[in-house]
Amino acid sequence: MGQPDRKNACCRPAACCPTPTAPITPIAWPRPAVTRKHWRCSTRCKQPNTAKALNYRGYATRKLGRTDEGISYYLQSVKLDPQYAQVREYLGEAYVIKGRVDLAQEQLQQIQSICGTSCEEYQDLAEAINGSTKT
């Protein structure tokens, strides 16, 4: 069995959520398959304050339309692990949503220093930034 798509799968239990500890609270989910998995992972962890769990919580809240709240989770994640490229990609995408392309560009530069320009995180954020400047 291959690896799941990193953006559409909940984190693996060994990665950040060793054992679920609490039930998920039902809410209205705009993108059920993605958002619910990320939210469940981030809220049911024994260690909810890891960089990975905070990144997933930020992703889920951003996808629910609460971009500022998502940014706050991303910033907490970056503080815990400044070399975590995926959180920097998602933070940059949130900045694009807020119209702060300058801050998104800063994240793109950080990603470049972490994994270069050929990694998926760099390419995805560069695409989001380029897409925002075409409108």
CA-closest candidate to residue 15, choices 89, 84, 117:
84
Summarised one tens digit per residue, pLDDT across range 58-114 is 998 999 899 999 999 999 999 999 999 999 999 999 999 999 999 999 999 999 999
Residue 92 to residue 56: CA distance in whole angstroms: 15
Burial (CB count within 10 angstroms: exposed 0-12, middle 13-18, buried 19+), residue 9 = middle
The reply to whether 119 falls in a domain is: yes
When divided into structural domains, the chain yields a total of: 2
Place of tokens 């619910």: 36
Q: Report pLDDT for 79.
A: 98
Query: Could you tell me the residue range of the domain that residue 128 belongs to?
Result: 82-135
* 121 part of a folded domain: yes
Residues 133 and 93 in one domain: yes
- Whether residues 87 and 113 share a domain: the answer is yes
Q: Are residues 61 and 90 in the same domain?
A: no
Residue with tokens 């998920």: 24
Query: How far is residue 53's CA from residue 15's CA, in Å, rounded to a whole number?
Result: 9
Does this model's pTM top 0.85? My answer is: no
92 and 61 both lie in a single domain: no
Residues 99 and 131 in one domain: yes
User: Is 98 contained in some domain?
Assistant: yes
Q: Does any domain span residue 8? A: no
Question: 86 and 61, same structural domain?
Answer: no
Q: Same domain, yes or no, for 87 and 135?
A: yes
Cβ atoms of 87 and 81 closer than 8 Å = yes
Domain assignment of residue 1, yes or no: no
Residue 94 lies in a domain: yes
pLDDT of residue 42: 52
Residue 116 located in a structural domain: yes
pLDDT of residue 40: 58
Q: What is the pLDDT of residues 6-49, one digit of tens each?
A: 443 344 433 444 333 333 343 444 444 445 555 555 555 667 78
Residue 117 maps to a domain: yes
Report the distance separating Cα 87 and Cα 59, nearest Å. 9
- To 10 degrees, what angle do helices 85-97 and 51-63 make? 20
Q: What is the Cα Rg of the chain in Å?
A: 15
Q: What is the DSSP string of 23-55?
A: PPPP---SSHHHHHHHHHHHHS-SSTTSHHHHH
